[in-house]
Chain A
Amino acid sequence: MLTDVMKRDTNRLTTSRLRVAPGFVAIAIATIALFSVGGVLAPSSISHSAIIGMVPFAAVLAIAGLGQMLVVQQGGIDLSVAGGISLAVVISTHEPAGDSSKLGSAILMAVAFALAAGLVNGILVSLLRLNSIIATLGMNALLYGAVFAVSGGTPRSTTALLAAVAGGSTVGIPNAAFFAVAALIVVSVLTKKTVAGRRFEAIGANPAAARAVGLRVRVHQTLSFVWAQLLYCLAGVLLAGITNQPTAFQGDSLLLPSVAVVVLAGTSLLGGRGFPISTVIAALFLLQLQQFVLALGVDTSVQTLVQAIALAVGVSLYSVNWSSVRRRLFVRKPTQAIPA
């Protein structure tokens, strides 16, 4: 009996080490399939120029998605992603007003705003126990207030320096991709390889148990919002460089996709484990999907439908308990004699 238990435990450990997250398998297969199908049905969607054009935006979405993932890991949702990105875009373009030498101080200012916004979000949610949707929605409105206060709603053209750094490419690879990879590495290492990171995931999985063993639940929850805002800030600054002539509302179109990539990557909206690599791949998937439907040349309404269906299928893959559905649909209940 004792040996049995030991044996079983050893097995479990081995398998857990080798096991790959189901979300990763699903999103990786879907992305590979998308590129393959694209190659057949709309070859231009996988041409060099299409990929080069798509990657910077995928990088921005990946970074925003990583931020959102940290909040989702703590069981929250961060709706201030739109305001956070828009504010970073506005500050990094409006403050330097075309003068590259002022870019550094503008970015510092954007980072300061991000820290403040993240801290307030975190305090509202973790200390004052506000629902994260409500708190971050309010924060989003405040951030847009800051957008107007800073700029009157008018960002400027990007400075030449930022356009070269964020929009340029090195050895044929868009620079934005390097930023996304760097963000991925930082987030992965911090959450997976450090003690604090392991605690962070444990708290997300079960805050009550975590508190019972003495972990500082509130601090970790607060920090998730701060890190998220910093990542949004990075995404916003990159976006400002990539688009050259951004609007003051550039973050709006990233709100839902940022949640979508987190869910597509298999992170539970109830909190717990995060999947940084899958999140980045999911961002690549969403942007490539857009390239694909654009390359197909179908009507805009069909483009939207295709994207929605892909999202629904992707999410249902692992958020629906398929074995129970199968059981309910196909397995008949053993007929029992009704007691008379």
Chain B
Amino acid sequence: MKRRSSLTAIVATVAFAALALAGCSAGGTTSSGSSSGTGTTHLAGAPSWCGTKKIKLAQLDGFGGNSWRLVTTASGEDEVKKCASVTSYQYANGNGDTQKSISDIQAFTAKGIDAMVVFADAGQAMLPAIRSAYKAGVVVVPYRVEVGGTAGKDYTQFVGASFVNDGTNWGNWIKQQFPNGANMLFLSGPKGNSQGTDELKGLNSVLDSKYKYLNEAPYDVTNWDPALTQTVLTAEIAKNPKIDVIISDFGPSLVGALPVFQKSGRSIPALATSDGNALGCFWKANHAANPDFKLFTVATGNDNVRLAVDWAVAKATGGTPPSSSTFKAPVFEDSVSGQPNPVQCDSSLPGDIYLSAQLSKAQQAAAVNNK
């Protein structure tokens, strides 16, 4: 029964090593985002944030494994190309492994990189590495995920996204569509995520008590997982005979769940969310059969990285930093007013690209397809 040979030991060792290496392949689905580098992108000549000093820049991702991240990465690279002073651009992907993300920062510091933009998925755990790079004289711009610390002491500048602003935009639209109040369902990611609570702040700053939340406070937990989203939505649909509007910070994850309304003989309700090609195409295909299905989206925020790059390049090359350090996602689609855009769908492209991003459709498709 027991034939423990040295071969067994070798196989065990290899299996264990493989395990240790591939260990935590955490799936950080960052949902929605914010969008575009507002007003900092003058293509005529070099933009004002592009100074004259020659620098090397690195973009670091804590987790690069979803289409949103691929488009974001490509957007960062595209922004860098606008400034000829950046002589070298490099990218590193932490693959959801905090240890690797930290050693990426240390490696780039050791290699003499002048500036880095960091998507610090691990949050505060990244602060010591970020601080030591900053102390070593590197311009460090963490973006989108808060790392704690203070600008000028632990890093050069933090470029956050205003999720409160997203909530306010959704709230204003809901008020327009349902002036007499509405039954609302608000879905966000994991329990306690600050993106959801910020969005709720924005919503509540606009909506009064006529607008009723049907979800558990502060939001229904979906972990931004399409399967869980579907289960949660199914339960809410069964429980609530009247849902006027669904608010979600990850629009494309609803595509699988919305047909549940039709299966129970109801119209898909109004939707205030973030954009995605799959969602736009779903609306085009289904709005005729669902009279209440109105769609309003804010940009999903791939362009947040552009603002971070602008800051990093400005600080390192001696250019003028952008006026704002917070990325505010612009409104993208409104199926009712058609302003600023009617619903967008390009069925020739993958469902998981984001037409709200500045990056061209072709470049996005290339970024997603190359992987």
Contacts and interface: CB of A to CB of B under 8 A. Distances in A.
A142 B260 contact: no
A54 interface: yes
Contacts of A244: 226, 255-256, 278
A243 B371 contact: no
A54 B311 CA distance: 48
Given A130-B15, A243-B227, A294-B235, A141 B23 contact: yes
Contacts of A147: 25
A62 B21 CA distance: 31
Given A138-B18, A247-B29, A50 B234 contact: yes
A128 interface: yes
Interface residues of A, number: 62
Contact of B70 (A154, A157, A290): A154
A264 interface: no
Given A137-B19, A157-B352, A129 B231 contact: no
A52 interface: yes
B153 interface: no
Nearest to A246: B226
Contacts of A138: 14-16, 18-19
A307 to B, nearest CB: 13
Interface in B198-218: 216
A178 interface: no
A64 B70 CA distance: 31
B239 A53 contact: no
B66 A154 contact: yes
Interface centre among A47, A124, A138, A142 (most CB of B within 10 A): A138
B226 A53 contact: no
A242 B257 CA distance: 9
B111 interface: no
B227 A50 contact: no
B263 A142 contact: no
Interface in A129-150: 129-130, 134-135, 137-142, 144-145, 147-148
A156 B239 CA distance: 31
Contact of B255 (A44, A157, A248): A157
Interface centre among B15, B264, B278 (most CB of A within 10 A): B15
Interface residues of B, number: 58
Contact of B371 (A54, A141, A152): A152
Interface stretch (B4-12, B289-297, B299-307, B329-337): B4-12
A3 B94 CA distance: 76
A239 B352 CA distance: 18
Nearest to B15: A138
Contacts of A50: 234-235, 237-238
A203 B235 CA distance: 43
A245 B225 contact: no
B252 interface: yes
Contacts, number: 175
Contacts of B221: 300
Given A45-B238, A53-B234, A152 B27 contact: no
B285 to A, nearest CB: 10
Contacts of A300: 191, 216, 221
Interface in B2-61: 2-4, 7-8, 11-12, 14-16, 18-19, 21-23, 25, 27, 29
A244 to B, nearest CB: 3
A155 B67 CA distance: 8
B188 to A, nearest CB: 12
Contacts of A157: 255, 278, 350-352
Contact of B231 (A44, A247, A290): A290
B1 to A, nearest CB: 7
Interface in A267-284: none
A242 B228 CA distance: 12
Nearest to A290: B231
A57 interface: yes
B65 interface: yes
A153 B221 CA distance: 23
B237 A49 contact: yes
A34 to B, nearest CB: 14
B4 A294 contact: no
B239 A245 contact: no
B66 A248 contact: yes
Contacts of B95: 148
B231 A245 contact: no
B253 to A, nearest CB: 6
A329 B275 CA distance: 62
Interface centre among B4, B11, B14, B237 (most CB of A within 10 A): B11
Interface of A: 42, 44-45, 47-50, 52-54, 57, 97-98, 124, 128-130, 134-135, 137-142, 144-145, 147-148, 151-154, 156-158, 167, 169, 207-208, 239, 242-250, 252-253, 287, 290-291, 294-295, 297-301
Please list the 4 inter-chain residue pairs (A to B) with the smallest Cβ-Cβ separation, ordered nearest first. A153-B65, A152-B371, A53-B234, A157-B351
16 contacts: A54-B234, A124-B11, A129-B4, A130-B8, A138-B14, A141-B22, A144-B25, A153-B64, A154-B66, A157-B352, A158-B256, A243-B256, A248-B65, A291-B234, A297-B216, A300-B191
Given A152-B371, A295-B239, 10 more contacts: A44-B239, A45-B235, A52-B264, A53-B234, A98-B350, A130-B12, A138-B15, A154-B66, A242-B227, A245-B255
